[in-house]
Structure 1
Amino acid sequence: MTLQLSDEIYHILLFSDHMEIIKAFSLINKFWCEKARNIPLSITIRNFPCNVNFKCKYMIESLHVKDINDDEILTNIFESGMLEKLTSLKVSPSINQKNLKCIFENLGRELRVLKMNFLREISYLSFSSGAFSKLEVLELEGHDIGTIEISALENLKTLQIFCREIDLSNGYLPKLTSLRMDGMRISADLLRQFLQASPIEILRIFDCLNNSSAIEEISLFGHRLVHLNISCNPISLSSLRNLCFSSVCSNISELILDQCHNIGIEGCEYIGNGPALRNLTLLSLMYCVIGSKAFEKIVHGPNASNLKTLLVEECELGLNGCKAIAESKTLTNLTKLDISSNEILDEGCEILCNTPNLKHLTSFTVACNELTTSAPISTSPYLTHLVHLDWE
Structure 2
Amino acid sequence: MRKTIIAGPSHIQRWKSNIAKGALPHADAEVVMVGFGGAPMWSASIRNEVCRSFEPGNSDIYLLIGDYRFGNSIFDDPSQNGSDTFVDGHSSIRRDLINTNSDRLLALKVEEALDYYVATFGESVKLIYWDMVGRRAIDMLQGRYVIAGEYNHPSWGKSFPGKFRKSNVVEMRDLFDYPLGEISRLYLDDSLHPTHVGYNFLSNIIFNGMGVSKAFDVARQSTLDMYMKEFSRFSLGGSLLISGNSVWVDTLRRVLGISGIKAFESAGIFIRPTGFANGRPITQDFKPYYFDYVLVVSFEEDIGSFSSNNPYFKNNVMSSPISPKVAYIPWEPSISQMFGNGTFTSPRAVSSLSAMSEPRAHWCRGLEDYEMRDLIEIGLRGEPNWNGIKAVVEVGVSQFSA
Structures share a fold, TM > 0.5? no
Q: Normalized against structure 1, the TM-score is what? A: 0.32
* The structure with more radius of gyration: 1
Between Structure 1 and Structure 2, which shows a larger proportion of helix residues?
A: 2
Higher-RCO chain (CA-CA 8 Å, sequence separation at least 6): 2
